[in-house]
Amino acid sequence: MLKTNDGGPNEGGDIFDRSFKQIIGSLSDGALISFINSLFGAGHPIESPVVRLNTEQIGKNLEKQQPDEVLSIEGKIYIIEEQTAPDKNMAIRVFEYGYAQALKDKTIKDGMVTLPFPRMIVIYLEAGSITPDILKIRMEFPDGTEHDFTVKTLKLLDYGVEELAGKGFAPLLPFYIIKLRKEAKRAKTEEERRRVEEAFKELGMKLAKTIEESAPEWLLDEADITTLLERLSGMVEYVGRGYRTTEVKKMINTSLMGYGKVLLLEGEKKGRKKGKKEGEKKGKLEILNLLKAGCSTEVLKERLEAELVSAASKPRTISN
């Protein structure tokens, strides 16, 4: 899916692609709507239902096409495509994605077929001098008219860390570590490598802190933060392979442990609540069965008192 300018596979592209899909695919609805509103200048209420659509499409030659994310919010369709580096065929690809989706959503009224194209954006993690601000295809029709098909792009490294967070692009922060990739490859001397390691430490910690600080404004819950920090740790490990990045990964993992504990406690609470409900349901059913069997209230009272005494005598386990 990810290609370089010459059409060859893009190094590490699959890793970034999988991480992007994991982040966007697992975002809570509130955080996802907030992100979509920021990307497209939309105004969907945060409580709007989100439908994550099947991304698999069939192309004109019966080959599978698969945009990264296809979403429906309040009847509007959005396609988000992540690209690691410039691709000369990108405009054609997104046009095909949009056309395939429009065919799925077509309407026919009074013999007129309407193809509602989705709203689309391409997010470039690494942009070069040839990366366009807008992808454009000019269509020439037999009657001599021309119409432009356009899709806007977002170039990640055109922004600073705080600016990304301020604009509502917090889910993209884990990928910002890619800024150090070229510098890490170029470094040869011990001094250059030391500077790169320091840069990983500084940027990694800054990104982790910004993710946590931007969470309330952009409705990131504990699970969202956990996912973003996990992906950031993975990006540091991948982009910084061959360098000593243990300290920054340890710091990120320390934050992760805190959120993991929060999620564990929440899960434990939900589990206890569910267990309590199931126990109450079971108890009520047992009482009902005893009454149906003709058990007197005195016998029933004795039975319940005996069970309460038995339960109170059992040792209790206290979790930290």
pLDDT digits (tens, 9 = 90+) for 284-293: 455 555 555 5
Q: Are 209 and 170 in contact (CB under 8 A)?
A: no
Give Cα 234 distance to the centre of its chain. Answer: 15
Amino acid at position 68, single letter: D
pLDDT above 90 (res 300): no
pLDDT above 90 (res 99): yes
Q: Are 287 and 300 in contact (CB under 8 A)?
A: yes
pLDDT above 90 (res 311): no
Give me the mean pLDDT over the 306-319 stretch: 46
pLDDT above 80 (res 280): no
230 membership: H or E segment, kind and range = helix 222-239
Kindly indicate the confidence band of residue 319, based on its pLDDT and cuts at 50, 70 and 90.
very low
Residue 5 main-chain phi, psi, to 5 deg: -60, -30
CA distances from 222 to 19, 219, 225, 260, 269 (A): 18, 10, 5, 8, 15
- Longest CA–CA span in the chain (Å) reads 95
Give me the mean pLDDT over the 28-36 stretch: 96
Give me the mean pLDDT over the 257-281 stretch: 54
Lowest mean pLDDT among 63-72, 121-130, 132-141, 154-163: 63-72
d(CA 114, CA 135): 23
Angle, helix 222-239 to helix 13-26, in steps of 10 degrees: 170
List beta partners, residue 134.
152
| pLDDT (0 to 100) of residue 313 | 45
List beta partners, residue 120.
79
Total residue count of the chain as it appears in this document: 320
List beta partners, residue 80.
69, 121
| pLDDT (0 to 100) of residue 10 | 52
The rounded percent of the chain whose pLDDT value lies above 90 is 61
Each residue's pLDDT tens digit, 140-174: 999 999 999 999 999 999 999 999 999 999 999 99
| pLDDT (0 to 100) of residue 150 | 96
30-53 in b/e burial notation, b at 16+ Cβ within 10 A? Answer: bbbbbbbbbbbeeebeeebebeeb
**Of 254 and 182, the one with more pLDDT:** 182
d(CA 11, CA 233): 19
d(CA 84, CA 253): 26
Kindly indicate the confidence band of residue 201, based on its pLDDT and cuts at 50, 70 and 90.
very high
pLDDT above 90 (res 131): no
| Averaged confidence pLDDT in the chain | 81
| pLDDT (0 to 100) of residue 206 | 95
**Of 161 and 132, the one with more pLDDT:** 161
